[in-house]
Chains A and B, each alone.
Chain A
Amino acid sequence: MAQPQLKNDSPSPANKNADDLVQVKNLRKHFPVQSGFIAEMLNRGQIPAVKAVDGVSFSIRRGEVFGLAGESGSGKSTVGRLVLGLLEPTDGQMIFDGNDLGSLKPEEMRRLRSRMQVIFQDPLASLNPRMSIGEAILHPVKIHITNDPREGREVVYQILKKVGLAPPEQYYDKFPHQISGGQRQRIVIARALVTTPDLVVADEPIAMADVSVRSLLLDLMMRLKNELNLTYLFITHDLATAKYICDRIAIMYLGRLCEIGPLADVYEHSGHPYTRALLEAVPVPDPRHRRKEPMPAGEIPSAINPPSGCRFHPRCPIAQANCAVDEPELRELRPGHQIACHYAEQFLE
């Protein structure tokens, strides 16, 4: 396929051969909570904040599928937005291919954007209902690749074929409401990939699709990843699906990582009580299967005043007195597998 070259050269990476495409260093994002004038006076200017992301570090290697999993409110989607530079972090660094996003000029950031793309959960909400499918995909093409209408159309046709919508002429002039949900998500994938990005942040990309459509979309995403040398940050609440595509996975709880490592190792030798509970809770499509361990008490607490020490301690079945005081750091307890629990060893014998 004769793909026109990118119009602008992206900022050249400082360390081109480094293994890590993305490095996230001690990232924090606090959202101030709106409170009244008097409350603010009483708090003496201390505005309460939702600590959505509160000190998260990890790196994503070139060409891998990195899973980020957790329940609603864990902060996983906020991390995704921070990685894309769609949100400004309260603290910490986000380095993409050697470029620190915090220190880039707007013009440099704009050029970098073509190399990182996003796929959201709801394709209908991600597509402009009054823009035809062809126009929707042409939009990033015009910004990043070519202004020539004929060339542009050809680029769109190529990517439509790649995502399995052939013949592309049939789809180009259709509107989002005229196609099925699965096809819509293919359009969103096509639009994200048309600029041949390096990184794709996929935030629950298949959560809304039906079971039979899910396996097709997953297959498409994996095929395109290999074809186009992509790196995925795959954000999900679904640990069963993650198993089929992720190389490594990080588990998030209340703004912190509790466990990170190669997927098989995390699933088979999980050392954090929260990871263990999450894995145990996943419904298994086998009526003979019965859950063995009891579920943790209560529900995920507020991120405004997270529990002291280990954030999971009020619900943890193995918590000791010091868990309420000392916040556990991630410790490498198996090769490449880190766990933030003071008592993880008991699960790893």
Chain B
Amino acid sequence: MNALEVSDLSFAYGAREALRHVNFELAPGRFAALLGPNGAGKSTLIALLTRLYDLQHGDIRVGGSSLRDAPRPALKQLGVVFQQSTLDLDLSVEQNLRYHAALHGLSRRQSGVRIDAELARQALTERRRERVRELNGGHRRRVEIARPLLHQPRLLLLDEASVGLDPASRLALNQHIRNLCREQAISVLWTTHLLDEVQASDDLLILHQGRLVASGQADVLSLEHGGDLGSAFTRLTTSGAAR
């Protein structure tokens, strides 16, 4: 069963179309990069995937459950790291994580066990009692990544998660997510506008003007559309050719 299926998804802000007949699938344990220039429709897609906006046309299935018909099982399988920090700066690392675990209905005991495990994985155990305000940007991001893993999702959605990090932290974060993807068989949808965050074996989705203009393995798409990823991306996002 696919971790994510987006079928015939369209969305409009009044008369302005933001997404038009978008279709793609994400297999279990795969790392998919969603690329697109500003205004391509990435934020709208994220808002629909995270239930911030209601579906207008088409459907989204997470782990086989439809966001339209069965939002509860769908959201149970979805973990999200938002572009802007959504941590409560005045609360400690542990308090932030406990809040998230509670929102997902985990008991205090369950959340305690999982918080221990995720903090250890992120090398943040020593900082669990520190206020988030006292952490640097890289550590905050690690807390934000530990947070959605508490409810053990099948699909992890990262919306420009590397924004604001220095190049070394950015690469480390990207590698860390790939390790998670491999070790825990979590599917990852990584939205970005930075081409160096994409690897040859990744699934690649390119959005342009609300349409999915390309999807497939990154190295195959690069060969098909110009030789390297940069040329392929430029060609696909300037021609406006929709599949």
A and B held together in a complex? no
